[in-house]
Amino acid sequence: MFKLIANIALAAAALLPLVGQAQEAPAIKLGYAKCAHCTPISLTPAHASASVVKLEAIPFNTGNDVLTALVSKSIDVAQVTYLHYATALDKGFDVVAISGQISGGSQMLIGNDLPVKENDWAGLKKLIAEYKAQGKPFRVAASRGNAQDIHMRGAFAKQGIDINKEVQFINIPNPSDHVQALRRGEVELIATTEPFATQISQVKAAKFFAYPYDQAAGKLTNLIVTRSDVIAAKPKAVEETVRSIVKVNELMAGNQPLFVDTIQKVTGLDKAIATGAVANLYPDYRMQRASAVAIAQMMRDLKYIGSDVSAAVEKNMDYRFLEAVTGKPKSALGY
């Protein structure tokens, strides 16, 4: 009898670690950039069920840093842009789009002393021609590879300005450095993201020129992506991550003070700047398939990517999680 009891006790002890493992939710590391429309991602852990996923939101300086972390498997899910998505597919990386997030957030600003008014493309083209005639470079800047860079390039192309021949492109990787580049007179025009665009205007480092939305990408900016191995290993955790993003998006759409407060906490910028930034942001968790293809085609036309990834852009947009979370068919989610 003693031997039987001992065997039962041993068997029960052996099962305990397995029970503990079964109860522990899988972990998801969600990376995001420190831009205004990215900051709501910081709230997602508080809106995810802890019994389904152990969600951690990790800030990075730029979207390029986030994408690098995803493909190197340092994180599981990434807030990037539609442009990063197309770039990753062009490079053969394993990325799967699972949700939209927030779009907009782009501005083009021009030096205070330059004789160009808001939306005066004719005046800008004339000024660029004058610089060229004088043998001076007209320097335009952005953070290469982010949405604002492509928004600017697309807008320039639509206006007949060749960014490779008529202007000199300056890459300033960290958007928080854009204001100082303008103050030091290192560039004539810059395309940047919120809240740094609003900061530039409010501290009078430059003046507003245009919203660069008149191109194939429109206002589309952020996209949530993961890898196929993460989906295979943690499908319910991925679904719960998407659910938290949708919840936070709905909060941002209906609670501007919370949106402002979130931007302040993540970026450290003041309330006036955060408030100005929110006016140029558009919460939208849908994945816009046709526009994503148009963006990829524009990127190829601009020689930003080397191949036609249109088919891959469509194939790698997985609507299952948004459908499960919202109860809507993919036809109502941007497909």
Average pLDDT of the residues of the chain: 91
- In three-state secondary structure terms, 83 is helix
Query: What tens digit of pLDDT does each residue of 154-208 get?
Result: 999 999 999 889 999 999 998 889 999 999 999 999 999 888 999 999 999 999 9
pTM beyond 0.85, yes or no: no
- For a pLDDT cut of 70, what percent of the chain falls above it? 93
Domains of the chain: 23-102+220-332 (3.40.190.10), 106-210 (3.40.190.10)
Phi, psi of 4 (to 5 degrees): -65, -45
Confidence band for 22, pLDDT divided at 50, 70 and 90: low
Whether the per-residue pLDDT at 15 is higher than 80: the answer is: no
Looking at residue 292, what is its pLDDT? 94
pLDDT tens by residue, 214-260: 988 889 889 999 999 999 999 999 999 999 999 999 999 989 999 99
Q: Kindly list the strands in the beta sheet with 96-104, ordered across the sheet, starting from the edge strand earlier in the chain.
A: 54-60, 27-33, 77-81, 222-226, 96-104, 281-284
- Top pLDDT among 14 and 60 is at 60
In whole angstroms, how large is the CA radius of gyration of the chain?
23
Neighbours of 280 (CB within 10 A): 21
Stretch 119-139: mean pLDDT, rounded? Answer: 96
* pLDDT of 68 strictly over 70: yes
